[in-house]
Amino acid sequence: MASPIWAAKPLFRELAMSASQPSTAGQRFRWAVDRELPLQVPGAVNAMCALLAQRAGFRALYLSGSGVASASHGLPDLGVTTLADVLDDARRITSVTDLPLLVDADTGWGSALMIERTVRELIRGGVAGMHLEDQVDAKRCGHRPGKQLVSVPEMNDRLKAALDARSDSSFVIMARTDAASVEGIDAAIERATQYVETGVDMIFAEALTSLDEYRQFTAAVEIPVLANITEFGRTPLFSVDELRDAGIRLVLYPLTAYRAMNAVAARVYETLRGAGTQIDLIDSMQTREELYEVLDYYAKELSEGKSNRK
């Protein structure tokens, strides 16, 4: 079998061959994509989740727009949160870890001027990259029915605004297409190839339903393609090995940990309310020592004590 197109085309060849990691967030993200095939990118809804993912050995992180809406604001993923909302959560994550963070920028929150501002603010916030989607501004979750798309020229205008706004050329601009479940796989691939011609760095192929569809995408697109392996959606839960064989370069798990956290929290509240004690929950909890280890609590406490004695 011939090697897939992407195999011979690292994004950041000189850094992929280097023993030392690059300095900017965008460079670190490109370096990680070249080092791990495919790169697993878990979602982190807050700084603590980011630290836990880092300890588990992941090389990159993701901030989901749906996660920002529901975890931070108790709102559905219907385009109701703002750039400021996303920036708050992104900065909290980039302040505690050097892992590169990919951010869901929805449709860019407005006009070309707003998209330009989005890029500048995310770079200023230490973010590695963002993806823009080709839905209308009143967007829906990518795995829900009733999605509507903008025209290819309008999407390309969004992407050009983002590309032109980069003060850091390594900041990753990823184009997400939701066309597969609206216009069909051939139209989605055609859209993706036009976004590549516009100059984007990566493609987010949303809501595909088979490995064959991913193979069609990666055969037609000469830049890295991301597979969104989200639970309870249209896409089956393909394994890393299956997606590697299909030519996928990045595998996204946007809300896996968050959904598990919510399920556990619901059981905890129900048990605490019903039993009047948490004694039966202790074995399922993170201990105080485990929390302190993640936070490097004792070293920071010692450092603070020394500072106060000066």
Selected residue with higher pLDDT from 299 and 163: 163
- Confidence label for 189 from pLDDT (cuts 50, 70 and 90): very high
Domain that holds residue 267: 263-308
Asked if the model's pLDDT at residue 69 lies above 90, the reply is yes
Residues 63 and 137 in one domain: yes
Residues 169 and 203 in one domain: yes
Would you call 290 a catalytic residue per the annotation? no
Residues 236 and 276 in one domain: no
H/E element, 147: none
> Helix or strand or coil: residue 99?
coil
Residue 2 placed within a domain: no
Residue 10 placed within a domain: no
Would you call 289 a catalytic residue per the annotation? no
- Please tell me which residue in 158, 228, 253, 258 is annotated as part of the active site: 228
* Of the residues 212, 233, 255, the one at which a domain ends: 255
Residues 195 and 268 in one domain: no
Asked if the model's pLDDT at residue 135 lies above 60, the reply is yes
What pLDDT does residue 5 have? 36
- To the question of whether residue 287 is assigned a binding role by annotation, the answer is no
Predicted TM-score (pTM) of this structure = 0.91
Would you call 131 a catalytic residue per the annotation? yes
Residue 167 placed within a domain: yes
- To the question of whether residue 249 is assigned a binding role by annotation, the answer is no
- Please tell me which residue in 131, 158, 191, 249 is annotated as part of the active site: 131
Residue 15 placed within a domain: no
Each residue's pLDDT tens digit, 168-187 = 999 999 999 999 989 999 99
- To the question of whether residue 157 is assigned a binding role by annotation, the answer is no
Q: Which residues pair with 79 in a beta bridge?
A: none
Q: What percent of the chain clears pLDDT 70, i.e. is strictly above it?
A: 88
- To the question of whether residue 106 is assigned a binding role by annotation, the answer is yes
- Confidence label for 4 from pLDDT (cuts 50, 70 and 90): very low
What's the Cα-to-Cα distance from 145 to each of 9, 207, 242, rounded to whole Å?
36, 11, 27
Taking the C-alpha atoms of residue 71 and residue 236, their distance in angstroms, rounded to an integer, is 24
Would you call 134 a catalytic residue per the annotation? no
Each residue's pLDDT tens digit, 257-280 = 999 999 999 999 999 999 999 999
Residue 108 placed within a domain: yes
Residue 182 placed within a domain: yes
Helices 112-124, 152-164: crossing angle, 10 deg rounding? 40
- Please tell me which residue in 28, 46, 89, 104 is annotated as part of the active site: 104
Would you call 133 a catalytic residue per the annotation? yes
Each residue's pLDDT tens digit, 7-36 = 435 555 444 444 455 789 999 999 999 999
- To the question of whether residue 308 is assigned a binding role by annotation, the answer is no
Would you call 206 a catalytic residue per the annotation? yes
> Helix or strand or coil: residue 264?
helix
Count of domains forming the chain: 2
Residues 251 and 294 in one domain: no
- To the question of whether residue 49 is assigned a binding role by annotation, the answer is no
Selected residue with higher pLDDT from 217 and 139: 217
- To the question of whether residue 121 is assigned a binding role by annotation, the answer is no
Residues 159 and 234 in one domain: yes
Taking the C-alpha atoms of residue 56 and residue 53, their distance in angstroms, rounded to an integer, is 5
* Of the residues 238, 255, 272, the one at which a domain ends: 255
Selected residue with higher pLDDT from 200 and 13: 200
Residues 158 and 287 in one domain: no
Would you call 104 a catalytic residue per the annotation? yes
Residue 45 placed within a domain: yes
Residues 273 and 214 in one domain: no
Q: Which residues pair with 42 in a beta bridge?
A: 253
- Please tell me which residue in 106, 134, 201, 213 is annotated as part of the active site: 106
- Please tell me which residue in 77, 89, 134, 213 is annotated as part of the active site: 77
Asked if the model's pLDDT at residue 95 lies above 70, the reply is yes
- Please tell me which residue in 59, 89, 134, 141 is annotated as part of the active site: 141
- Assign residue 138 the CATH number of its domain: 3.20.20.60
Would you call 49 a catalytic residue per the annotation? no
Taking the C-alpha atoms of residue 17 and residue 244, their distance in angstroms, rounded to an integer, is 21
Contacts of 10 (CB under 8 A, 6+ apart): 16, 34
Residue 17 placed within a domain: no
Residues 269 and 287 in one domain: yes
User: Tokens at residue 291, please?
Assistant: 């929390």
Selected residue with higher pLDDT from 310 and 93: 93
Residues 304 and 208 in one domain: no
Q: What percent of the chain clears pLDDT 90, i.e. is strictly above it?
A: 82
- Confidence label for 156 from pLDDT (cuts 50, 70 and 90): very high
If you search the block for the tokens 């890029």, which residue do you land on? 119
Nearest in space to 228 (alpha carbons), one of 219, 237, 220: 237
- Please tell me which residue in 34, 134, 201, 206 is annotated as part of the active site: 206
Each residue's pLDDT tens digit, 225-262 = 999 999 999 999 999 999 999 999 999 999 999 999 99
Would you call 231 a catalytic residue per the annotation? no
| C-beta neighbour count of 27 within 10 angstroms | 21
Q: Is residue 223 left, alpha or beta, with left meaning phi > 0 and alpha meaning psi from -120 to 50? A: beta
- Confidence label for 1 from pLDDT (cuts 50, 70 and 90): very low
What pLDDT does residue 11 have? 56
- To the question of whether residue 228 is assigned a binding role by annotation, the answer is yes
- To the question of whether residue 230 is assigned a binding role by annotation, the answer is yes
Nearest in space to 218 (alpha carbons), one of 244, 198, 194, 241: 244
Taking the C-alpha atoms of residue 48 and residue 24, their distance in angstroms, rounded to an integer, is 22
